[in-house]
Chains A and B, each alone.
Chain A
Amino acid sequence: EAGVTQFPSHSVIEKGQTVTLRCDPISGHDNLYWYRRVMGKEIKFLLHFVKESKQDESGMPNNRFLAERTGGTYSTLKVQPAELEDSGVYFCASSPRQGRETQYFGPGTRLLVL
């Protein structure tokens, strides 16, 4: 069974540009989460999808971030326009059910905004 995959693995962009990150969860997992780790700090929750619906987006930092999950399969996280403080590692995770279930993480996308 394939794990959670993320694309790209690395992205270097200039301030003001747009970047779109993609996450493919484990097949059949209804729950999809986005997290971010900035500059060696703790990993922080961004948002949670159940199928195609946003269950909780309380961690999204501002309206420059837009997440979608069309058809309840893969998800994209767009940052537009990117700022320097958006640099970090963006992780995606999925789980079959919500709550105490183990979340399976992807390898992350390393974003550097110059």
Chain B
Amino acid sequence: GNSVTQMEGPVTLSEEAFLTINCTYTATGYPSLFWYVQYPGEGLQLLLKATKADDKGSNKGFEATYRKETTSFHLEKGSVQVSDSAVYFCALSGTGGTSYGKLTFGQGTILTVHP
């Protein structure tokens, strides 16, 4: 079946540091890939997505590139801010059969950014 493996946290950075959160996946076919973020006290929000190989999703300074050859979708940001402190989830959307449409999530990575 489908699976997503995320870099274990927590991750603690200073403001303006570079961020990478690794995400790799196992899936049949060509899934869509997502990064969701959960800020303290809030629900999940879509951060960015990519629907085919070599697509780059970007939003709020975050980027991730759909790499089919390495089955990866690593999240990066060049300069983090305190307001980026949150839990980040990598996810994929299945493309066929019983997995069609439903999201498979990684375990989540807690990011804390200090001033």
Contacts and interface: CB of A to CB of B under 8 A. Distances in A.
Interface of A: 4, 31, 33, 35, 40-45, 48, 55-56, 58-59, 91, 93, 95, 98-108
A100 B93 contact: yes
A91 B44 contact: yes
B98 A56 contact: yes
**Residue among A42, A48, A56, A101 having the largest count of chain B Cβ atoms under 10 Å:** A42
Contacts of A33: 101-103
Interface size class of B (residues with CB under 8 A): 20 to 34
Interface in B42-63: 42-46, 49, 51
Contacts of A105: 36, 43-45
B105 A44 contact: yes
B80 to A, nearest CB: 22
A35 B105 CA distance: 10
Interface in B22-78: 32, 34, 36, 42-46, 49, 51
B81 interface: no
A108 to B, nearest CB: 6
A103 B107 CA distance: 18
A33 B49 CA distance: 19
Contacts of B49: 102
A49 to B, nearest CB: 11
Given A42-B106, A45-B104, A56-B98, 6 more contacts: A42-B108, A43-B44, A55-B101, A98-B101, A101-B101, A105-B44
Nearest to A43: B105
A83 B79 CA distance: 44
Nearest to A98: B101
18 contacts: A33-B101, A33-B103, A43-B89, A43-B91, A43-B108, A45-B104, A48-B101, A58-B98, A91-B43, A93-B103, A98-B100, A99-B100, A100-B32, A100-B93, A100-B95, A102-B49, A107-B42, A107-B43
- Most chain A CB inside 10 Å of its own CB: which residue of B98, B103, B104: B103
Contacts of B102: 33, 45, 48, 56, 59
